[in-house]
Each structure stands twice: as C-alpha cells, then as structure tokens.
C-alpha cells in the first residue's frame, strides 16, 4: 500500500466515523510528497491541511553536499501543487545553517527560498557533525558565532512571512483545538488551528481543553495569534 492509499483509507474511515478529528502526515522527505498524496489530503476533511516539508537548504550545491536527494526546482514544484490543491494549508519546514563549507551566498539562496515559499514555520537548526555521517569527516568550518548570526537572519525572514500570513487572518473565524490553560495569561487557553498555528483565546475556561471551538482572530504577531470564542 502506498502512502497515498494509506491516507485515503484513513480519510475514508474518518468520513464514515462521523467523528471530528485531524490526522497529520508529518515530516515526509520531499520525494514522498507526491501529487497523489496531496490529492488524498485534499479529498478528506479529517486529513489536516498542514504540510511539514523539510528543505534543509535553498542552495543546490549545498543540498548535494548534504546528500538530501532533492533539488530546489523539484521542491518548488511540490509547493506549487500544495498551493493549488490545498489552498488553505499551512507549510512548515526544517532548515540547517552553518553546514560545512556554507558560504554567505548559499545562505542568501536559502533566505530567498524562504521569502518565495512564505513558510508559516521553519525549524532552523545550527549544523553539528553527526557520527557516522559523511559530513563528519569534513571540517566544521563555520564558527559558532557565524552559525548564530545565520540562524538569526533566517529567523527574521520567517517572522516576516509568518506575520504577513497571520495579519490576513485578523477578523476571520477558525476552528481550533483547545490544548491547555494558557500558562502566561489567566483566564485564557492555548489552542491551535488545523494548520497548527498557535492561538491564545482570551476569556475562555480550561474546561474546554480537548474540545474543538470556533474563534475569531483579533490580533496577530509573528508566529502567534490571539482571538476570542465565537
């Protein structure tokens, strides 16, 4: 059974159950995010419209050195299919900065890819040699300070694209799953949208934890939202 067939089977069970839930297809390699997988997610309400698609770098040469077995052109084609078939989907990714031999120009290529794709979330990590990997034989030639600076640069790009998306949500209503009482604000709860975007809901009881609710977004920040129950 292929991944697409498995997702369709899960989606059909969800349709038949009459129950309300979300199922996520998490962290596939780009080669596994085929058009039929995307179509399967589009066809069933219980298959969540959130895609985690690791890219690692936006530079072709660096991807080859990383032995990632995908290229930027193919990655962007997958993103285009996601945008066409899952127009409401959020898009998350993983990125490594400071890989052995990474140049300033290669980092700029990654920043450019981030601006083009407009990720909702990117988990950016500093490279460190991993025992057994081919790269462990190479010099770790990017200093800790450079890695921190590069991580900060890409984090700023992420905040920019996230805020742009989140601002467009203000005034609209969304279904959310209540996860817990908000640890920072009394009388509020922490929730997430189907796209895994965090929403602080004000004037809401912790008794709602574990339930789906409808909220109206009232304000936005990079990587987070605030709303009220409808």
Give pLDDT tens digits for 158-181: 999 999 999 999 999 999 999 999
Q: Which is nearest to 153 in space by CA: 126, 117, 135?
A: 126
Q: Which domains does the chain have, with CATH numbers?
A: 3-167 (3.80.30.20), 173-229 (2.40.50)
Q: How far is CA 86 from the centre of its chain?
A: 14
Residue 135 has pLDDT above 80, yes or no: no
Residue 138: band (very low, low, confident or very high) from pLDDT cuts 50, 70, 90: confident
Residue 131 has pLDDT above 70, yes or no: no
Q: How far is CA 106 from the centre of its chain?
A: 22
Question: What confidence tens digit (pLDDT) does each residue in 207-224 have?
Answer: 999 999 999 999 999 999
Residue 77 has pLDDT above 70, yes or no: yes
Q: Which is nearest to 123 in space by CA: 148, 159, 101, 93?
A: 93
Higher pLDDT, 103 or 141: 103
% of the chain residues with pLDDT over 70? 97
Measure Cα distances from 117 to 16, 147, 199 in Å. 35, 23, 23
Residue 130 has pLDDT above 80, yes or no: no
Q: What is the pLDDT of residue 28?
A: 78
Q: What is the pLDDT of residue 132?
A: 60
Task: Look over the chain and give the mean of its residue pLDDT values, rounded to a whole number.
Answer: 94
Q: What is the pLDDT of residue 136?
A: 63
* Cβ contacts of 15 within 8 Å, gap of 6 or more: 44, 45, 46
Which tokens is 47 given?
């298959």
Q: Which is nearest to 82 in space by CA: 20, 18, 37, 27?
A: 37
Question: What confidence tens digit (pLDDT) does each residue in 78-112 have?
Answer: 999 999 999 999 999 999 999 999 999 999 999 99
Angstrom distance (rounded) from CA 119 to CA 56: 13
% of the chain residues with pLDDT over 90? 88
Alpha helices in 176-224 (DSSP H): none
Give, for 215, the enclosing helix (H) or strand (E): strand 212-221
End-to-end, the C-alpha distance of the chain in Å comes to 42
Residue 128: band (very low, low, confident or very high) from pLDDT cuts 50, 70, 90: confident
């Amino acid at each position: 059974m292929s991944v697409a067939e498995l997702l369709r089977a899960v989606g059909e069970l969800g349709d038949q159950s009459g129950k309300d839930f979300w199922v996520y297809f998490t962290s596939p390699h780009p080669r596994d995010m085929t058009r039929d997988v995307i179509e399967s997610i589009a066809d069933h309400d219980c298959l969540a419209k959130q895609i985690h698609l690791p890219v690692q770098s936006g530079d072709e040469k660096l991807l080859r050195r990383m032995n990632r077995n995908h290229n930027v052109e193919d990655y962007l084609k997958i993103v285009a299919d996601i945008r066409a078939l899952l127009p409401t989907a959020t898009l998350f990714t993983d990125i490594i900065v400071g890989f052995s031999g990474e140049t300033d120009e290669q980092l700029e290529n990654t920043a450019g890819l981030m601006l083009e794709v407009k990720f909702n979330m990117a988990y950016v990590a500093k490279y460190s040699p991993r025992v057994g990997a081919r790269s462990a034989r190479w010099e770790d030639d990017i200093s800790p300070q450079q890695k921190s600076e590069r991580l900060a640069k890409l984090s700023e790009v992420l905040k920019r694209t996230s805020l742009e998306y989140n601002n467009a949500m203000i005034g609209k209503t969304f279904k959310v799953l209540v996860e817990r009482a908000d640890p920072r604000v009394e009388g509020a709860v922490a929730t997430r949208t189907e796209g895994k975007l965090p929403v602080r809901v004000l004037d809401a009881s912790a008794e709602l934890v574990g339930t789906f609710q409808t909220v109206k977004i009232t304000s936005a920040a990079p990587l987070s939202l605030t709303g009220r129950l409808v």
